Every structure is written in C-alpha cells, then in structure tokens.
Structure 1
Amino acid sequence: MSEAPTVKVAIEENEGQISARKFLTPECLSAALLVSSNLLSKTPIDEVVLELSRQTDAVNRGDMSRAEDMLVAQAHTLDALFVHLTSRALSSKNMGGLESYMRLALKAQNQARATLQTLGELKTPKQVAFVKQANIGSQVQVNNGIQEKPARTRKTKKAQNELLEVEHGEWLDTRASGTAGGADPAMATLGAKHRTAKRRG
C-alpha cells in the first residue's frame, strides 16, 4: 500500500504579523521618528513612509543623487557648527570653557572632513587590485618577507653527488692521491728505517 502524498499547506499571516512586518521596516521607523520630533509639521506619517520608500528604491536602482545631496547638506551643517563652537570658545572668559568649546569645535570639523571624504569616495569609488602571490622554486622559504634557503640544502647537494657517482660508476675525483703536506705530521713521509730495502726503478 503506497503512502499518501505530502501536501504543503500555505500558512497565511494574521493581522498582527502583517502589522509587525510593515511597521518594522526602515522606512516606517524613520518616519515615526521624524513625525514624533515635530520636524515635519503636520505631514501624515503614511506620506513620509511613501517618500522614504521612493528614495530607497532609487538607491537600489543605483541612483545615489539623494545620498550625495544629504552628505553635502550634512557637511555644511557640521561646518556651521564648527564655526559656532569656535566663536563660543574664543569668547569664553576662562580656560576651561575655551578648552571645552574648542574640543567640540574640532570634533565637528573632523566630522565635516569625514563627511566630505565619504562623498568623494561615493562619487569616485576606489579601485581595488587583487594581487596573487606566486611561489617559484621549491628551495625557497618566505619568512616575513625575507627569503632564506632551507637548512637541508647541503644534504641535497650531497645526495646529488652520490647519485652522480652511482650513475657513472666512479668517483668524481679520479686523480692519484697526492703527497702528504705539512699540515698533518701524522701523515708525513715515512722515515728511513720504515722504508723498504729495495727501491722501485
């Protein structure tokens, strides 16, 4: 008896799940913050969500003009904040106020610089180069950028010499043994009493 086929039943979302998925989108969260801060006067939140969705879709299509406009505006705002804080610092009557305002002013100036740098990278992205490392030769080791020969090099040369001797059936040095030098007295020429009585012709 064959088994009954498995049937996949589609599970529909209830109203709570639909609302949660809708209200937790980035557009809804940003719209809720903008409306609650009274920055948009009495603009309906639904219209704010739709506008943010249009801007998000534009970015997804590769249109970064809105993001570029935003960065330019933020850079101007940070620059104005730098000027204002610097003015407050110079008008301070004590060193503590001067130091506090100047610290905040320099932070605003640095943020303005970083914003403009981000804008520049957005307009002209950096070219990333991928470089592959090629290891040439089996007798080279790379340690922190320093090339060194392995310690087994001498053993390799010795093995090559022994292999050459076996293949040719003779030693590399075929010359007759030479006379002992003065460097090793033990191997010096024999004395008169140790010589043979008969000399070779």
Structure 2
Amino acid sequence: MNQRKSKAQAQNNKSEDKHLTRKQIECVEGETKEATALNFAKLVISPEMASFRVITNREREDLMAQLDTPSLIGALREQTQAVHRGDMKAAEAMLMNQATALQSLFVKLTETGLQAGLLRQQETALRLALKAQSQCRATLETLSNIKNPPVVYAKQANVTTGPQQINNGVPSSAPNEPAGTQQKKSRKNKLKELPHEQEQWLDSGAPGTAGGTDSSTKAMAPVHRPKNRGGQGQGSA
C-alpha cells in the first residue's frame, strides 16, 4: 500500500511540474559578469519588457498565476520581429480588436446615458460614448491606411541655389566682350543690309555755304534809339 501511495504521489508531482509556470525573467549569460549585467540591463529597458510591465500590472490574478513570464516576453519579441520583416498581420488584428472593443464601449455608455435619471449623469455618459465612437472611427481609419496606404502626388518644383545665367538669343563669339557689344554688332549688320535707296538718308551731304546779308534792311532811325544805352538812367519814348 505504501508503495502504491508513493507512486501516485510521484505522478501528481510530475503533473504539477508540467503545469508549473516560470515567473523569473531569463537573461542571456555573457562571458563575464559585466557582460551578463549588461545583458540584463538591456533586457530591462527593452520595448518587450516595457510592454510586459504594463500587461502584468493590473491583470487578473488567476491569469497571472497561469502566465509564463519567459513565454510572454518571447511572444512580444516575435511580434516585433514580424514588423521588422514587414508582416503587419499582428498590427491589423490589434487595431480591429480595439475598434470592436471601442464599439462595445460606445454601446454600453449609450445605454447607461439613456437609462440615467439625472440630466448631468446622462450628459456625462453620452459625452463619453461619443468619445469612444470617435476613437473607434480613428482606429478603423488607421487600419484602412495600413491596408491601403494613401498615394501622395507631389508637384514638380524647380528649386535652384546660387547665381543663375540666362542667355537669350545667339551667344557672342567672344565670351569676354562687354555687355551691349553684341547688340551694337547686330545694329551695324542691319544697316549694311539696307538697300541703296534707303541708305541715302543717312548721308548728311556736303556742308552749305554761309548766306549773305540782306541789303534791303535799313538801320534804325535815331528817334527810335534809346538815349541811355547799357540800361543807365531812364529814357523817354
């Protein structure tokens, strides 16, 4: 009888060991103590550990009793590695479940507001319900952007830096000529192309001789001359 009881107790202990959950955080051991301490420090500040601390902070006690700590951290790492590979299935599932939970919250708060006896309670519950509805809409919009990223059309912009040189027309043969030289040359070329009949007006001709005096003009009579010349004194007419 004693042997049978010992065997049964040993089997029960084995079954309990199978369901025994690990609560200690596993750390990769390094070649030295300093390396092991550094690995543990990296684990504490890792994103997976931050998520683990939030999840296990206010979780139900019965769930925490069955939760295996290294397995949870390993699952969080697998999600991160999937995102690095471009696999967004976990993120899509997360957003969809959040939208469903927000929808349930919206319905619950709406029912609470409609059943409230006081106006203040009804107003508070309905305001929270509308906030939950807005967050549900934003979550679904984010999910839609992940599934179908928006296409951005950018207009082409001619952006240049530094000085610019714009050459209009035919460039001159000598690049070091002063400004306006090319225009003067073009004017001379146009004058040379004029026909002979139109070029005659450009000739000023021979200079004319000086004209003679008019002999019919007579000198002024003395009576019309002023008495005081040079503006001295006052003269009478």
AA of the residue aligned to 1:104:
L
Whole-angstrom CA distance in 1 between matches of 2:116 and 2:184 = 89
Structure 1 range deviating more: 33-42 or 50-59: 33-42
Secondary structure at 1:62 match in 2: coil
SS at match of 1:41: helix
C-alpha displacement at 1:134, in angstroms? 4.2
Superposition pairs of residues 125-140 of structure 1, within 5 angstroms: 125-134=149-158
Distance in 2 separating the partners of 1:162 and 1:106: 79
Question: Unmatched 5+ residue regions in structure 1?
Answer: 1-10, 139-160, 177-196
What are the equivalent positions in structure 2 for 1:48-197 lying under 5 Å apart? 48-134=72-158, 168=190
Q: Is the contact between residue 35 and residue 45 of structure 1 (CA under 8 Å) also seen in structure 2?
A: no
User: 1:33 is matched by which residue type in structure 2?
Assistant: V
Instruction: Kindly provide the CA deviation profile for residues 24-73 of structure 1, in whole angstroms up to 9, marking residues without a partner as x.
Output: 11111111222232344321211100011111111111111111111111
Query: In the alignment, residue 64 of structure 2 is paired with which amino acid?
Result: S
User: Which is richer in helix?
Assistant: 2
Partner of 1:193: none
TM-score, structure 2 as length reference: 0.51
Structure 1 vs Structure 2 CA RMSD: 3.5
User: TM-score scaled by structure 1?
Assistant: 0.60
Tell me the number of residue pairs that the alignment of Structure 1 and Structure 2 aligns. 147
Separation in 2, partners of 1:83, 1:34: 25
Give distance in 1, aligned partners of 2:189 and 2:82: 77
**Structure 2 CA distance for aligned equivalents of residues 65 and 48 of structure 1:** 18
- Of 38, 41, 48, the residue aligned with 2:59 is 38
Distance 2:132 2:59 in 1: 25
Aligned AA (1:98): Q
Rounded to whole Å, the distance in 2 between the matches of 1:167 and 1:46 is 93
SS of structure 1 residue aligned to 2:52 = helix
The alpha carbon displacement at 1:129 in A equals: 2.2
